[in-house]
Structure 1
């Protein structure tokens, strides 16, 4: 496997875990937030949740960017619903492993409240959890608890992946 999406609700640690994982795997990390059109960023910054229609072009861009990357690539993207993950897979043109960062809403809200310079307000966290459809057993995916230190989370991911997937 050489295409990965670090997924989960806003504030779960996609950027931190994705960058650390890429470093450990010798991969390229891409922050999916950087691929949002300005209209999506403005909408979220204003406290309005994105619709499926708002997300569609972004998800296509995430998948296309992932598919076009050289070598092993990891991208951070919420990928909250199965249809979003299917769209990313289709745009990537190959199988993609989804790494679901799973955690308690209280923990994530605390992390969101402590971060600075991000466009996503804590007020949208409920909508993120409402939309979340964790990956099912028929998807190429794994889930990891976000409670531990980031280095431990990355080690847990690598242990679950095993040598064949890295």
Structure 2
């Protein structure tokens, strides 16, 4: 069962997109929160600290979320899981890639779908406000996908971003002449 999913089409092949979504700098710049700090421990294990606030109808919540994310690359998706979170008991997500190539122009399009399959919260108040909280998260991840699009469409920004992610396999990056 999927808690929620958001989608965005990118004009890049999935191998290029996988490299960007495995780069902590892309996540740090793309996340729509007031403060995002990510410390990579390994290529696929990152320590996070996010600070922001949420305005529910009846509640204003200033929060700091600390957790470790683990990203694992598969053929057509990346799995994303959290551990050691101060707010989330269980998180299971994925970033799925569905690639198509135009037979005439040879250019790629790839549908990127960010899915959250499991989300269990620690805070009893947030559990009572689960549906509005999920609505806020869904909007945040939609903004994230849009922000990532802007990042990788800008030549200067995308080059700079990749410099900090030393593990990126540059041979997998294809900009299709852009």
Relative to the length of structure 2, the TM-score reads: 0.35
Greater percentage in strand = 2
Greater percentage in helix = 1
Relative to the length of structure 1, the TM-score reads: 0.37
The structure number with the bigger radius of gyration is 2
